[in-house]
C-alpha cells in the first residue's frame, strides 16, 4: 500500500481492478486531487495515466500522463498516454456521449465504472451500442406515441410489461403502499435536475422561498446536478441567502465521506430485494433512483415535490419506494415527447405506474400542458391539477428612468431606441433563430430599433455566427442570463417570445407585471400567460413576418402600447399571484385546504 493517504474511493477502484486482472489503467477521477496524491498514483505500476477534475500547473507532473475533465462541454481531454482500461470513479449515468466518443477515438477497450452497488467493466463497443440503442428507443417512443394516438393498443404489450415491472418495484411484496417510513411533520423535499437560469427553475425558487417564508415548514432542496456543468447553480446563491438547505444528490462515490458511510452504515444501502428490482430499469435511472431512495430514507420528508420529467420519474419512484406519504409531480411546459434530448423510454410507463398510486398528485402549470401530458400518457386530463406559476408582485417595481438609461448604455443601446427584448434558454424548443430572424426584419426597416436577447444554451454559438454574418451586431445584442430580470424587462419596450411550446412562461408574466407589453406565439400554455388584446398580442402563425407585424403594430400605436402596459400588473396579480400559487401548493401537500377557487 502507499504511504501517502489516498482517497478511499480510488483505493477501492484500484483494488477491484487488481482482482479483475487489469494490468494497465488510466484513472479518471472527477474531483480535485492534491499534487502529492497525483504523484503517488503515477508511481504505481498499474497506473499509466490520470484524468483529473482540476488541471494541475505543477511542472514536475508529466503532461503526457495527465488529462482533465471538461464539464462545460460534457467531456474530457484525455492524456496522450492512455491505457486499454479506463477506470471512471463515478456512475454510468455521468458518462456522456462525448466522453464515450473520445475514448473510442483513443482506442480504449474497456471502461470500469460504478453500477448501482458494485464496480463493473464493459467493452467500449458495448457501451457505445447501448447509447445508440437508447437514442433509437427514444426516437421509437416518439413514433409509437404517434401510432398510439391513431391505433389504440399499439405497443401496449411492451408498455404493459414495463409498467408491471415498475409496479413491482413500487410494491415489491404486494402489500400495498409502504409504511416503513416515519415522516418528519411539515418537512418538504423539493427535487429537481438543476438550478440553471430557466423558467421552471425560477418557479422552483419562487415556490421554495414562498414556502420558507410561510413559517412552520422545513423545506429542503435536492438537486441532481448542481455544480457541473458551469451554470447549473445559477439560482443557488438566492436560495442559500435565505437559509434554504440545498444539496446535490449523493451516491456512494460522491465524496470520500459518503463512500465511508456506504461501507460502514447499512442504512445508506438499498435493500437487496429492491436492488434486484432496480436492475430492471435503465442503469442511469436505477442509479439515481437508488441514491434518491437513500436520501428519502435519511431525510424522512412528509412530502416530496419533484419538478421536471427527469426528477419526476427518479424522485417519484424513489419516494414511493421509501414510503413518502405525499408525492407531487410537476410537469412543466408540455410532455417530453416533444423534446428528444429529454425523452427516455422509461418515462411513459413510469408515469403511468405512478399515476395509479394514492400518494401521487399530478400537476401542470397550464391547461394546455396538462392536456398534452394526458394525451401522451393515455390518462384522463382530470387527474391533473392546474397550478399557475406564482410571482411575488409586492415589491416588484419598474426601474427608474435613470437606472434604465444606465442599463441601456451598458449594453450599447441608445436611450431613445425602440428596444425589443428576449429572455430564454437558447435551445431548439425556444426557437432563438426565429427571434433573431424577426429582429433582423425589424432592424432592417427601422433605423432606431434595437434587439436585446438574454440567454445561454447549446444554440448560442450558432446564433452568434449568424448575427456576425448579418452585420447587425451593433443593433441586435446577445447578453448572458441576468439575475436582475426586473431591470432588464423594465429597460425594453416590447418582450418577444418565440417558443414552440411553453407552460406559463415566467418571463412573460414578469414582463406584464412590470408594464412591458408582450408578443407571444407557440403551443402548450403560452396563450394562457397573457390576456391577448389587453396586455399583449398572441400570434397564431409563428413565422417571422407575422411576429414582426405584431411588434410593429405596438410601436406604431403608442396609445395601444400604453393601454397594454397599464393593464399588465392587475392581470398578473389576479392570475399569477404568489399567494394563490402557494395556497394551492400547500393544498396539494395536504397541509391545509385551499380557501380560493381552483385555476
- C-beta atoms surrounding 130 within 10 Å: 15
Higher pLDDT, 453 or 148: 453
SS3 317: helix
State what percent of residues in the chain have pLDDT above 90: 68
Higher pLDDT, 179 or 193: 193
Q: 289-310 burial string, b = 16+ CB within 10 Å, else e?
A: bbbbbbbbbebbbbbbbbbbbb
> Is domain 177-225+271-386 given the CATH code 3.40.605.10 in the classification?
no
Q: Are the CB atoms for 9 and 41 separated by under 8 Å? A: no
User: For residue 290, what pLDDT is reported?
Assistant: 94
Helix (H) or strand (E) holding 11: helix 8-20
Q: What gap in Å lies between CA 368 and CA 389, rounded to an integer?
A: 14
Closest CA to 483 of 198, 212, 143, 71: 198
User: For residue 592, what pLDDT is reported?
Assistant: 67
Q: What gap in Å lies between CA 438 and CA 421, rounded to an integer?
A: 12
List, for residues 462-490, the tens digit of each pLDDT value: 999 999 999 998 999 999 999 899 999 99
Q: What is the mean pLDDT of residues 162-179?
A: 71
Same fold, 177-225+271-386 and 401-576: yes
Q: Which of 283-287, 288-292, 378-382 has the lowest mean pLDDT?
A: 283-287
Q: What is the mean pLDDT of residues 582-594?
A: 85
Q: Are the CB atoms for 538 and 527 separated by under 8 Å? A: yes
Start-end of H helices in 122-230: 124-150, 156-170, 199-214
495: left (phi over 0), alpha (psi -120 to 50) or beta: beta
> Band of the pLDDT at 597, cuts 50, 70, 90?
very low
User: For residue 577, what pLDDT is reported?
Assistant: 93
Residues 6+ apart with CB under 8 A from 166: 281, 317, 349, 350, 353, 354
pLDDT > 90? residue 366: yes
User: For residue 570, what pLDDT is reported?
Assistant: 95
Q: What is the mean pLDDT of residues 42-71?
A: 87
Closest CA to 224 of 191, 250, 193, 252: 193
Q: What gap in Å lies between CA 53 and CA 33, rounded to an integer?
A: 8
Higher pLDDT, 419 or 199: 419
User: For residue 188, what pLDDT is reported?
Assistant: 97
Q: What gap in Å lies between CA 537 and CA 554, rounded to an integer?
A: 9
Closest CA to 73 of 258, 260, 290, 230: 230
> Band of the pLDDT at 598, cuts 50, 70, 90?
very low
Q: What gap in Å lies between CA 89 and CA 375, rounded to an integer?
A: 41
Cis peptide before 445 (omega within 30 of 0): no
List, for residues 575-584, the tens digit of each pLDDT value: 999 999 999 9
Domains of the chain, residue spans: 8-127, 177-225+271-386, 401-576
Q: Which of 144-153, 293-302, 401-410 has the lowest mean pLDDT?
A: 144-153
DSSP per-residue letters across 185-203: EEEEEEEES---SSHHHHH
Class of domain 401-576: alpha beta
pLDDT > 90? residue 169: no
User: For residue 60, what pLDDT is reported?
Assistant: 79
Q: What is the mean pLDDT of residues 264-286?
A: 86
Residues 6+ apart with CB under 8 A from 294: 267, 268, 269, 270
pLDDT > 80? residue 40: yes
Residues in the chain: 599
Beta-bridge partner residues of 476: 451
Q: What gap in Å lies between CA 454 and CA 59, rounded to an integer?
A: 40
Q: Which three cell numbers stand for residue 480?
A: 448572458
> Band of the pLDDT at 140, cuts 50, 70, 90?
confident
User: For residue 595, what pLDDT is reported?
Assistant: 45
Q: What gap in Å lies between CA 407 and CA 401, rounded to an integer?
A: 10
Q: What gap in Å lies between CA 158 and CA 5, rounded to an integer?
A: 51
Q: Which of 14-23, 319-328, 364-373 has the lowest mean pLDDT?
A: 14-23
Q: Which of 167-176, 194-203, 225-234, 485-494 has the lowest mean pLDDT?
A: 167-176
Confirm whether pTM is higher than 0.75: yes
- C-beta atoms surrounding 341 within 10 Å: 11
Q: Which of 269-278, 317-326, 529-538, 561-570 has the lowest mean pLDDT?
A: 269-278
pLDDT > 70? residue 154: no
Q: Which of 22-31, 171-180, 279-288, 324-333 has the lowest mean pLDDT?
A: 171-180
Q: What gap in Å lies between CA 301 and CA 323, rounded to an integer?
A: 10
- The overall average pLDDT reported for the chain is 89
SS3 531: coil
Amino acid at each position: 500500500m502507499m504511504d501517502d493517504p489516498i482517497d478511499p474511493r480510488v483505493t477501492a477502484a484500484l483494488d477491484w481492478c487488481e482482482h479483475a486482472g487489469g494490468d494497465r489503467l488510466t484513472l479518471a477521477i472527477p474531483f480535485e486531487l492534491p499534487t502529492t496524491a497525483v504523484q503517488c498514483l503515477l508511481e504505481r505500476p498499474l497506473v499509466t495515466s490520470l484524468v483529473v477534475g482540476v488541471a494541475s500547473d505543477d511542472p514536475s507532473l508529466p503532461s503526457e500522463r495527465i488529462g482533465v475533465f471538461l464539464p462545460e462541454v460534457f467531456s474530457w481531454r484525455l492524456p496522450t498516454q492512455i491505457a486499454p482500461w479506463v477506470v471512471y470513479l463515478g456512475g454510468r449515468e455521468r458518462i456522456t456521449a462525448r466522453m464515450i466518443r473520445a475514448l473510442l477515438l483513443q482506442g480504449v477497450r474497456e471502461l470500469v465504472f460504478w453500477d448501482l452497488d458494485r464496480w463493473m467493466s464493459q467493452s467500449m463497443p458495448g457501451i457505445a451500442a447501448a447509447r445508440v440503442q437508447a437514442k433509437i428507443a427514444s426516437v421509437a417512443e416518439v413514433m409509437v406515441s404517434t401510432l398510439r394516438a391513431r391505433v389504440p393498443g399499439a405497443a401496449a404489450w411492451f408498455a404493459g410489461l414495463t409498467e408491471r415491472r415498475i409496479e413491482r418495484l413500487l410494491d415489491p411484496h404486494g402489500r400495498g403502499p409502504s409504511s416503513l417510513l416515519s415522516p418528519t411533520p411539515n418537512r418538504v423535499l423539493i427535487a429537481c435536475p438543476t438550478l440553471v437560469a430557466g423558467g421552471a427553475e425560477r418557479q422552483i425558487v419562487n415556490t421554495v422561498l414562498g414556502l420558507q417564508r410561510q413559517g412552520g415548514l422545513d423545506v429542503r432542496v435536492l438537486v441532481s446536478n448542481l455544480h457541473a456543468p458551469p451554470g447549473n447553480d445559477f439560482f443557488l446563491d438566492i436560495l442559500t441567502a435565505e437559509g434554504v438547505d440545498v444539496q446535490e444528490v449523493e451516491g456512494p462515490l460522491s465524496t470520500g465521506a459518503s463512500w465511508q458511510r456506504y461501507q460502514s452504515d447499512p442504512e445508506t444501502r438499498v435493500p437487496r430485494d429492491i436492488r434486484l428490482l432496480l436492475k430492471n430499469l435503465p442503469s442511469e435511472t436505477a442509479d439515481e433512483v437508488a441514491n434518491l431512495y437513500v436520501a428519502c430514507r435519511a431525510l424522512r420528508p412528509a412530502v416530496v415535490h419533484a419538478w421536471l420529467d427527469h426528477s419526476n420519474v427518479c424522485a417519484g419512484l424513489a419516494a414511493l419506494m421509501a414510503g413518502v406519504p405525499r408525492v407531487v409531480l410537476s410537469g412543466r411546459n408540455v410532455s417530453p415527447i416533444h423534446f428528444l434530448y429529454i425523452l427516455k423510454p422509461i418515462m411513459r410507463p413510469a408515469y403511468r405506474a405512478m399515476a395509479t398510486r394514492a400518494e401521487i398528485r399530478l400537476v401542470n402549470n397550464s391547461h394546455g400542458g396538462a392536456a398534452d401530458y394526458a394525451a401522451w400518457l393515455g390518462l384522463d386530463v382530470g387527474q391533473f391539477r392546474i397550478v399557475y406559476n406564482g410571482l411575488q408582485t409586492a415589491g416588484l417595481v419598474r426601474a427608474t428612468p435613470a437606472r434604465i438609461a444606465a442599463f441601456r448604455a451598458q449594453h450599447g443601446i441608445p436611450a431613445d431606441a425602440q428596444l425589443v427584448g428576449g429572455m430564454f434558454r437558447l435551445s431548439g424548443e425556444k426557437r432563438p433563430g426565429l427571434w433573431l430572424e424577426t429582429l433582423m426584419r425589424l432592424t432592417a426597416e427601422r433605423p432606431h430599433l434595437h434587439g436585446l436577447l438574454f440567454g445561454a444554451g447549446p444554440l448560442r454559438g450558432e446564433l452568434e455566427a449568424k448575427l456576425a454574418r448579418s452585420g447587425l451586431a451593433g443593433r441586435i445584442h446577445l447578453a448572458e442570463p441576468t439575475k436582475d430580470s426586473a431591470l432588464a424587462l423594465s429597460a425594453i419596450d416590447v418582450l418577444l417570445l418565440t417558443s414552440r411550446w411553453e407552460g406559463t412562461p415566467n418571463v412573460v408574466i414578469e414582463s406584464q407585471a412590470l408594464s412591458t407589453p408582450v408578443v407571444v406565439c407557440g403551443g402548450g400554455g403560452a396563450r394562457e400567460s397573457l390576456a391577448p388584446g389587453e396586455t399583449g398580442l398572441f400570434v397564431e402563425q409563428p413565422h417571422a413576418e407575422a411576429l414582426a407585424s405584431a411588434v410593429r403594430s405596438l410601436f406604431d400605436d403608442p396609445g395601444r402600447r400604453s393601454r397594454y402596459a397599464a393593464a399588465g400588473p392587475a392581470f398578473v396579480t389576479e392570475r399569477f399571484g404568489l399567494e394563490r400559487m402557494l395556497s394551492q401548493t400547500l393544498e396539494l401537500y395536504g397541509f391545509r385546504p385551499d380557501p380560493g377557487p381552483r385555476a
